[in-house]
Amino acid sequence: MQGFLNLNKPLDWTSHDCVAKVRKLLNMKRVGHAGTLDPKATGVLPIALGKATRLLQYLPGKKAYQATIRLGVRTTTDDLEGEIITSTPCSGLDLDNVKTALSQFIGKIEQIPPSYSAIQIDGKRLYDLARKGEIVEVPMRIVEISQIQVIDWRDGDFPELDIAISCGTGTYIRAIARDLGIILNTGGTLAALIRTESSSFQIPDSLTFTDLETQLQTNRFQPLAPDAPLQHLVSVDLPTASAKKWCQGQKIPLNLAIPDFVRVYETETNFLGIGKLEDDLLIPQMVFYEFTN
């Protein structure tokens, strides 16, 4: 049982809860996840099984979301889970002005993560510090947003905006909701969030826990291949003799100008692991396959 599970995380579950549930269902100890989702968010949560947990660091960072932003409201957590700081009706807000404000988030932008987040400062989670009432300066980070598309707009005293967002790793959608409210001078908070894509996993292909349990009961569950989400990396094929040496930790001479990690195979089909090319040498980074002779 080595590979990946494209899990559709249910509402009100933490990512850790999901890992614990998968461990129990599959009777496995080595289970991990990529890209934490807040409890009130649903959608794609990539789960690594067995040795595939060592591949998590090589997954692509692209993510996509569908979000609902409520304007006129500010909260302590930048979503509806927090206490309301301000609540001011803004029925006169115009969608064209909102779209203009949204355009400021496209590209590489500076973003301050929410105070209630899993980021660590001096070894302590921000949400733990926030719950204790400790005020800390949250470090700004650079994130990249490639696209924001307006899906729906609902007028009212507290209008709501549905958007689709494509972005890089580390982007907080709650922060976008908060900052959009700041730009519009209305306040804004995240009302709902679905992750539709994460690390090449798509929501139409995801499994709920009900799906997973049904497949397990009927012996139909098959994890995704360990190299399935790694197609963004160039592949390198080795003959059997060189493949064995590489899996034993030896560097293999290879004249290829690829300044990045690569997928390594034996004769195109047998996935061996992740390597890196330096000075015309293919250096093992993570060996997935072990030769038995």
Active-site positions read 38
Selection from 60, 61, 59, 78 nearest residue 69 by Cα: 78
Rounded to 10°, the helix 15-26/209-217 angle is 10
Mention every residue, 6+ apart, whose C-beta is less than 8 A from residue 147: 106, 164, 165, 166
Nearest C-alpha neighbor of 148 from the set 161, 139, 136, 160: 161
Structure tokens at 102: 């949204």
